[in-house]
Structures are given as structure tokens and as C-alpha cells.
Amino acid sequence: MRIGRWDRARRPSAGRVLAVLSAVPPLALAGWLLAGLPLLWLGWFRPLAVLPLGLLCAALLCRYGLRRLPATVEATAWQTGGVVAVALASGVFNGLLGSEQLIVRRDPGTYAQYAVWLAGNGALPIPYGEAAFGGPDPALRFDSVGFYDFGGAVVPQFMPGPPMIQAVGHWLGGLSGLLLVPAVLGALAVLVLAGVVARLAGARWAPLAALTFAICLPILYTSRATFSETPSLILLFGGMTLLYDARAAFRPGAPPPASAGRPAGRFRPPLPARPGGAVTRAALAGLVFGLAVLVRIDGLRDVLPVLACAGLLVALARVGGRDEGRLGVPLLCGLAVGAGLGLTAAFTLSRPYLDYLSGSLGPLLAVGGAVVVLTLAAAALAPRLAPLARRAAGARWPPVAAAGLVVLVMAAFAARPWLQTVTRRPVTADDLLTHGFIERTQRSNGLSAAGDRLYYEDSLYWVIWYLGVPAVVLATLGAALLARDLVRGRRFDGLLPLAVVGWTTVATLYLPSITPDQPWASRRFVPVVIPGLILLAAWGARRLLGGVRALGYGRPVRAGLLAACTLLFLVPVAVTSGGTAFTPVERGERAAVEALCAAFPPRSSALVVERVTGDRLTQVVRGTCGVPTARVVVRDHADTPAPADVDRLIGRVRAAGRVPVLLAVRPEQLTRYGTPIQVMRLRTRQDERSLVDPPDGTWSLSIDAWLAVPPVPPVPPVPPAPSAPETP
């Protein structure tokens, strides 16, 4: 009996298990990225180097991020088990129904081929391989959709963080392993969000928030393909988790605020304050936040509130009002290191992508600089500003104004379709492509063609499609009450979540900066908006239930209200997601790509002689098949190149001692050069492209590819030498 009592005493509580499970994913991802980025710069991103070093860094970050962890979550075994069950079910469900987007048509194909190249080659940029084509030639081009020609090599679009994570799946299981990584990241995202909800709103709401999040259509969408939004979510909300736990170390002797709703006698006594561990955890929180920039360049916008929060903590330390002000400097240092690594990677590994985004990146950097200046000024003037803040907290109107501002902003977004129609006139080549894409999509939707429409005025209604009106209303209520409490000087632990969610939500709803077809555009809401609104809705529901209790209503009324909140959370989400949740898209691409690769003879050099095939398959053949690949330049808006260029390049490939192989989408485009053989005939489903309604189905997708090996021209016979005349 004594041993049994000792075991029960040493066994971690359910709340501690949930706290640890939700903090491990961001720390592990941060450790992997910290280890992998220097090796990628050195060209050594290989399994033998990255796996041991990445695992070591992840273990060290978890060791120092989780040691001396204060009691921040009070949960029952059922609540923790419910969250874990939802995460596991999410991973299995999305793994079984995941897409196989390997052909480069949109961003998932680009990320997949980026990861394939890193997994197989371990270095950037991608060399031309001109020697396989007989050397440079003006008719050769090596770029394609998602892969820029820059500085004498091919540079992938996007930030390197997601492919560095996805490459692990390729090392462990080839293309099949790569395609399972999104489902694993989606399951980890469920854990992270549930951990934040348990800390801020209470563990009672964590399983409901986890389930609502897991079945939301944009989460299903990004958890089935190689997107960057899911790892970005893990880092951003993981940073909130770590900073919350760091601040909790300065609150000894009181139960954690997220534990409301449980009997007081069932609280496990919290650990004593350990400021040393809190400082380390704050630095790691800043690092995790900053590394979001390495995953998505938009992360630079998302972490601006973290910079302001760090400045506020520094100001509190100068004023002497709160011990947790000691966390400001380590938070700021960690943020600078993480964001600095992300920006350095962007300028060294993704420079053409930054050039492409220069129109929006420049203003973002200017806003970031302004936030830095204002943060430094506020920290420097903190002793003078403190009396004003105290008077504002004691006055009646500032808290009411803060809550009213939240409601007013959401009301403005709700009224926006009646006040504005967002359009953009095409001025660049990319604008013209978007203009034509929107026109074709409008015709497919039965709408009148107006390619300059962006539909951004409907952005709040996009969110309502996926979350439902009740959740958005509860999120607005929760944000308003939290803003009021913050101005009153209460619930300081909710400042950073509210700042990050509020800032990014307003910025994203105002300017989504994406083609407006659904579900494609819904990915913009995945890193912050949807999980943030679910978090705030849980907080609003908790406050609503607390208000009912304060009014004296008994347990039956409160139980009915809890059941109603559950239905209001889940039913609208399930209704929207039900149309596509059980229909996988782009299945069969893995088998089609593998069959394509098997069709190439040894020592092949691939020449793509048709525009669409060049866009879709150039990097697939180069990276996945391992065949040197180039496109033959197409002139005068034609679909195929000049035959003289093709004939010359065929001869140059043969002169280099290799076998020329031509690719096109139709056989008649190859008959001049050889006998066409169909090497890809993909018939599958793709995502719907809906502009004015939530997506409720899929569209057909057909991709064909034909291959021809030009015959070796016969060698002309050598005439016999004349015989010598006979001598008599």
C-alpha cells in the first residue's frame, strides 16, 4: 500500500500531461529548424547530419522549456484524454484521406517538390545541369511554376522552413512518407491549440475547441497537403503557451486562472515560483515566435504584437509594478534571434520570392520599424506613462471604449460588402494571370466575367462559412470582455493572445492577399484567425456560463447552456465541412509520377516542348525522377517551340553522350520528333473553386503527358575506296 501511494504521488496529473503535450510540438519544431538551417546553408542537409543534430536540439529545447514547469493547467483525465483522442483521430483521418499533390499546379506541389529536392540533394540553389544538354543554349530555360531562374541557378519559391520539416517524411518513407507529414502536423496543431485554450479559458473547453478546430474545413484542407500554414500555427500558438507558462512562475500560492469550474478541493498545489526557469522559457517563447518567419514571410506581421508585448514587459520592469517584467528582455532577445534567422534565410535562400513580394513586403518592414521605434519609446518613457495608465484603468470609460471598439470593428467588417467592392486593375504580368484566372472561375461559377473583382469585402463571411455565426459572435463577445478586463488591469495573461489574434485577424480580413476562390483562400485563416477565434469563443462561452452562475441559476440551467454552446460550436462547422471532408482530392498523383519516372531510359536528358507540361512537370522530372530537365523556349505566345530549336538541342544532347527525351501534353506535339508514348493519364478530383458560396464538392481533374525518344539518325554509308588497277 505504501508503494501504491508513492506511485500515485509521483504520477503526473492530467493537467500537467496536457500542458506538456501542448508545449512539446513548438519546441521540437524550433529545435529541428535551428539545427537544419545552418546545415542547409552549408549544403549538408543530409539525414546523417540533420537527424542526430535536429533530434538533439529538439531534445535540449524540450528539456529547458519544460523543466520546473509550474502548474498552469488543471484538467481531469477525461478532458486530457478527449484532447488526445481528437488529435489522434485528426491525424488518422487526414492521413487516410490526404491528397497527393506532387505535380506543380499550386503551392502544395511547389512545397512538395521543394522538400523532395532537399531530401535528395541537401543543398540550394538547384543547378541548371547544362552539361547534360551540351552546354548553354539560348533556347534552353530551366525555371517553371514555383521555381525561379535567379543568379545562374533555379531557386524555389517560398521560405525554406516547411520543406525542411517535410523532408523528414521523405527520408522515412519516400513520397508516401512526405505526403503523411501534413496529417501529423495537423494533429500536433490540435494539441497546441487545446493547450492554449486550457490555459486561458479552462480545460473544460479544451476538448470542444480541439474538436471544432479539427473538423473545420480550412484545417482539414491544410492538414491534407503540403502547406506552410499548419507549422506556422504550431509555432505562433506554441509561443503563446510557453510565455503563459513563463508568467505563471511568478504566481505562487494561487491556482491557475484557467481552472475555473472545478471544485476547489480538487486542485493540486502549484509549484513554487522559479524565476530562473521562467526567464529561460520566455527566451524560448520569443525564439519560437521568431522562427515563424522562417516558415512564412507573413510571420513577420504576425509577431509584431509579440514585440510590443516584450516592450510592455520591459516597461513594467522599469516601473517596478510586476515581477514578470523580468521576462521582457529574454522574450525580446529570443524574438530577435528567431526572426533574424528567418529574415537571413529569406535573403539568402528565397531572394526572388522577396522580390516578387516587394510591393507588400516594403510596407510591412516599414510598419515593423515603426513598431520597434514605438516600443523603445514606450519602454523609455514608462515611468512617466505609468500614472496615465493607472488613471485610465481606474476610469469608467476606457474599459467600455475598448470593448466597444472590438464590437465596432467586427460590425464594420460585417457591413463591408454593402460599403465597398474591392477591385484591382492588372498592371503586371502576374496581375494579368490572376485577372484571367478569376474570369475563368467566374464563368465556371455561372457569374458574369469581371476579372478585376477580388471579393475581399466578403472576408468576414468567408470565416462565418467555416466557423458559423454563433462562434464568431461568441469570439467577439470574448474579445470585448477580455479587452475590457485588460484596460482595467486584469487578466494580463490574455494580453498577448488577444493582441496576436486581434491584430492578425483585422489585417487578414482587410487584405487577404490571395486569389479568392474557396477553399483555396481559406488557408489564409489557418495560422491565426480560425484558431484564434475558436480560442476567444471558448473564452466568451466561459464568461457567459460564469455570468449565468453569478445570476444564481442552478446546475440544470448551466448544463443546458453548456450543451447549447457545444451544439453551436460543432453543428455549423460540421455542416460546411461535410460537403468535402470525406472526398479526397488529387489522389493517384504519386502513382502517376512514379510511372512517369520509370519511363525514362538510362542517361536521359528531358526536354519539355510544351508550355503547360513545362509549368507542371519540369521540377517533378528534375527532382523526383532525378533526370536533368529543361524547357525549350516558346516564342510568340505559342504552345510549342520552334522545331529548329528542338532539333538543334536533340543533337547537342546526343553529342553530350546522353539520350534526349521529349515531353508534351498531346501526342501530335511530338510526332515530328519520334513515336509518342503516353506516360501519364491521371483522372482524379480537385478542389472546388467557389467565389460566392462555401465549397460543397470537388471538380474533375485530368493531366496527360506523352514522351518521345527521337530515333538516332542513320549513319550514311561510307563509299568504298576505289581499288587499284591490276598490273599486267
> How many beta carbons lie within 10 A of that of residue 347, not counting itself?
10
Which is nearest to 29 in space by CA: 222, 234, 233, 214? 234
What b/e readout covers 210-226, taking b as 16+ CB neighbours within 10 angstroms? Answer: bbbbbbbbbbbbbbbbb
How far apart, in whole angstroms, are the C-alpha atoms of residue 113 and residue 110?
A: 5
Give the three-state DSSP class for 692.
coil
Tell me: pLDDT of 717 over 80: no
Tell me: pLDDT of 259 over 80: no
Tell me: pLDDT of 261 over 50: no
Give the three-state DSSP class for 323.
helix
pLDDT of residue 290: 96
Per-residue DSSP letter, 704: E
Tell me the β-bridge partners of 148.
155
Locate cell 518567419: which residue? 293
- Grid cell, residue 24, equals 512539446
User: Prior bond to 519 cis, omega within 30?
Assistant: yes
Which is nearest to 347 in space by CA: 332, 359, 333, 358? 358
pLDDT per position as a tens digit, 539-593: 999 988 888 787 777 788 888 888 888 999 999 999 999 989 999 999 999 999 9
How far apart, in whole angstroms, are the C-alpha atoms of residue 100 and residue 169?
A: 14
Higher pLDDT, 213 or 3: 213
Q: Is the dihedral of CA 263, 269, 273, 274 positive or negative?
A: negative
Domain ranges across the chain: 12-97+178-577, 129-155+585-708
How far apart, in whole angstroms, are the C-alpha atoms of residue 141 and residue 122?
A: 23
How far apart, in whole angstroms, are the C-alpha atoms of residue 406 and residue 428?
A: 37
- Grid cell, residue 551, equals 445570476
Which is nearest to 309 in space by CA: 494, 543, 573? 494
Residues 104 and 110 sit within 8 Å (Cβ to Cβ): yes
Give the number of residues written for the chain.
728
H-assigned helices in 599-681: 611-619, 643-655
Higher pLDDT, 163 or 74: 163
DSSP H or E run through 664 = strand 659-664
Residues 97 and 111 sit within 8 Å (Cβ to Cβ): no
* Percent of residues in the chain assigned helix, strand, coil, to nearest 5: 65, 5, 30
What b/e readout covers 399-428, taking b as 16+ CB neighbours within 10 angstroms? Answer: beebbeebeebbeebeebbeeeebeeeeee
DSSP H or E run through 656 = none
How far apart, in whole angstroms, are the C-alpha atoms of residue 621 and residue 653?
A: 17
pLDDT of residue 715: 65
Of the candidate ranges 272-286, 423-437, 667-681, the one whose mean pLDDT is the lowest: 272-286
Residues 102 and 590 sit within 8 Å (Cβ to Cβ): yes
pLDDT per position as a tens digit, 465-497: 999 999 999 999 999 999 998 888 777 888 899
pLDDT per position as a tens digit, 154-209: 999 999 999 999 999 999 999 999 999 999 999 999 999 999 999 999 999 999 99
Please state whether the predicted TM-score (pTM) of the whole model is above 0.85. Answer: yes
Burial class of residue 724 (count of CB atoms within 10 Å of its CB; 0-12, 13-18, 19+)? exposed
pLDDT of residue 274: 55
> How many beta carbons lie within 10 A of that of residue 41, not counting itself?
16
pLDDT of residue 322: 63
pLDDT of residue 392: 62
> How many beta carbons lie within 10 A of that of residue 261, not counting itself?
17
Of the candidate ranges 151-160, 378-387, 524-533, 607-616, the one whose mean pLDDT is the lowest: 378-387
Higher pLDDT, 632 or 271: 632
Phi, psi (degrees; rounded to nearest 5) at 706: -120, 150
Order across the sheet with 698-708: list the strands.
140-141, 629-632, 604-608, 659-664, 698-708, 677-687
Tell me: pLDDT of 531 over 50: yes
Residues 259 and 13 sit within 8 Å (Cβ to Cβ): no
DSSP H or E run through 663 = strand 659-664
pLDDT of residue 263: 41
Average pLDDT, the chain: 89
Tell me: pLDDT of 725 over 80: no
How far apart, in whole angstroms, are the C-alpha atoms of residue 155 and residue 538?
A: 43
Tell me: pLDDT of 702 over 70: yes
Task: Round to the nearest angstrom and report the end-to-end CA distance of the chain.
Answer: 127
Tell me: pLDDT of 273 over 70: no
Q: Over pLDDT 90: what percentage of the chain?
A: 71
Looking at residues 117-143, what average pLDDT do you find? Answer: 95
Tell me: pLDDT of 436 over 50: yes
Which is nearest to 100 in space by CA: 682, 704, 688? 682
pLDDT of residue 410: 96
Higher pLDDT, 647 or 377: 647
How would residue 716 be classed by pLDDT, with cut points 50, 70 and 90?
low
DSSP H or E run through 499 = helix 495-510
Longest dimension (CA), the chain: 138
